[in-house]
C-alpha cells in the first residue's frame, strides 16, 4: 500500500489506523507561533462507523487503506451472509452481519447499494437514499383523516418500522428516506 504524509491528508482519504481502515473527515493544521506543528485529524472507522480524533506530528506518515466503494445489486440473505453482485462483472460478494449492520432493514432484493470493500472484502453497506417498500402491517386508518396528525407505526416488508400518516393502509407501497428513516410519500 502507498504511504502518505500529513501534508496529503484531506477529507475522503482512506488510511489505516490501529489496523482498521478509516476515512479522513477533516484535517486541521495546528501550530503555535513558537512551537511544534501538529495535525489534528478527525477520522471515521469504516468497520465500526465510530468517529475518532487523533493528533499527528506534521510530516508523520501512515499507510493508505485499500478501500473502494462499489455499486452492487443486493441478491439475497442466506441466513448467515448478505449476498451482493457487481452488475458488470457478475462477481458476487457475501457480507457479514456486522458489515450490513443498520442497512439490512432497508435492503430489498434487486436494489442497488453501495458496498465498501477493504482488501476485496465487504466491510460496510450503504442502502440507496430512497427505497420503495410494501407495508406488511399497520393499524387501519381513521376515517376522514387525510394527512397531518401524529401518524402511526407501519411495518415494512424488510422488517423496518417507520411512522406513516394515518391514511396509509397495509399493502400500500411507500417511499422512505433511509438516511433519516422517515416516510416521504405514497407510491402509486
Partner 1 sequence: MLAAVRRFFDQRGVLEVETPVLSRTGATDPHLVSFTTRLHQPGSHGAALPLLLQTSPEFAMKRLLAAGSGCIYQICKAFRDEEQGRLHNPEFTLLEWYRVGFGLTDLIAETDELVRSLCAPALPLAAPEVFAYRDLFRQRLGIDPVEAGIETLVQCAVTQGLPEAEELCGNNKPLWLDFCFSHRIQPELGRGRLSFVRDFPAVLPSLARHKPDCPELVERVEVYLAGVELANGFHELQDAAEQDRRFEADLQRRRLAGMDVPPKDGRLLAALDAGLPDCAGIALGLDRLLMLRQGARDLTEVLAFPVDRA
Q: Is 61 in the site for partner 1 (CB under 8 A)?
A: no
The C-alpha R_g of the chain, in whole angstroms, comes to 22
Cell numbers at 3, concatenated: 504511504
Out of 5, 10, 11, 31, the only residue in the binding site for partner 1 (CB under 8 A) is 31
Look at residues 167, 170, 158 and name the one whose alpha carbon lies nearest to residue 131.
158
Out of 1, 30, 98, 187, the only residue in the binding site for partner 1 (CB under 8 A) is 30
Q: Is 57 in the site for partner 1 (CB under 8 A)?
A: yes
Site size for partner 1 (CB under 8 A):
17
Give the residue carrying C-alpha cell 501538529.
38
Q: Is 10 in the site for partner 1 (CB under 8 A)?
A: no
Out of 12, 19, 35, 110, the only residue in the binding site for partner 1 (CB under 8 A) is 35
Kindly report the number of other CB atoms within 10 A of residue 133's CB atom. 22
Q: Is 175 in the site for partner 1 (CB under 8 A)?
A: no
Q: Compute the distance between CA of residue 158 and CA of residue 155 in angstroms, rounded to an integer.
A: 8
Q: Is 42 in the site for partner 1 (CB under 8 A)?
A: no
**Quick one: CA dihedral 107, 69, 102, 177, positive or negative?**
negative
Summarize as ranges the residues that interact with partner 1 (CB under 8 A): 28-38, 40, 54-58
Amino acid at each position: 500500500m502507498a504511504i502518505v504524509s500529513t501534508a496529503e491528508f484531506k477529507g475522503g482519504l482512506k488510511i489505516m489506523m490501529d489496523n482498521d481502515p478509516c476515512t479522513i473527515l477533516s484535517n486541521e493544521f495546528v501550530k503555535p507561533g513558537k512551537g511544534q506543528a501538529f495535525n489534528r485529524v478527525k477520522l471515521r472507522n469504516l468497520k465500526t462507523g465510530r468517529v475518532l480524533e487523533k493528533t499527528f506530528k506534521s510530516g508523520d506518515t501512515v499507510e493508505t487503506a485499500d478501500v473502494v466503494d462499489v455499486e452492487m445489486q443486493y441478491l439475497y440473505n442466506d441466513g448467515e451472509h448478505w449476498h451482493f453482485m457487481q452488475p458488470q462483472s457478475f462477481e458476487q460478494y457475501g457480507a457479514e452481519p456486522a458489515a450490513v449492520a443498520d442497512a439490512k432493514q432497508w435492503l430489498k432484493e434487486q436494489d442497488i447499494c453501495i458496498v465498501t470493500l477493504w482488501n476485496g472484502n465487504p466491510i460496510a453497506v450503504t442502502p440507496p437514499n430512497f427505497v420503495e417498500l410494501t407495508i406488511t402491517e399497520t393499524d387501519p386508518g381513521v376515517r376522514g383523516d387525510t394527512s397531518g396528525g401524529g401518524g402511526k407505526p407501519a411495518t415494512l416488508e424488510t422488517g423496518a418500522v417507520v411512522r406513516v400518516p394515518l391514511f396509509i393502509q397495509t399493502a400500500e407501497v411507500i417511499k422512505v428516506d433511509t438516511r433519516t428513516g422517515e416516510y416521504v410519500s405514497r407510491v402509486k
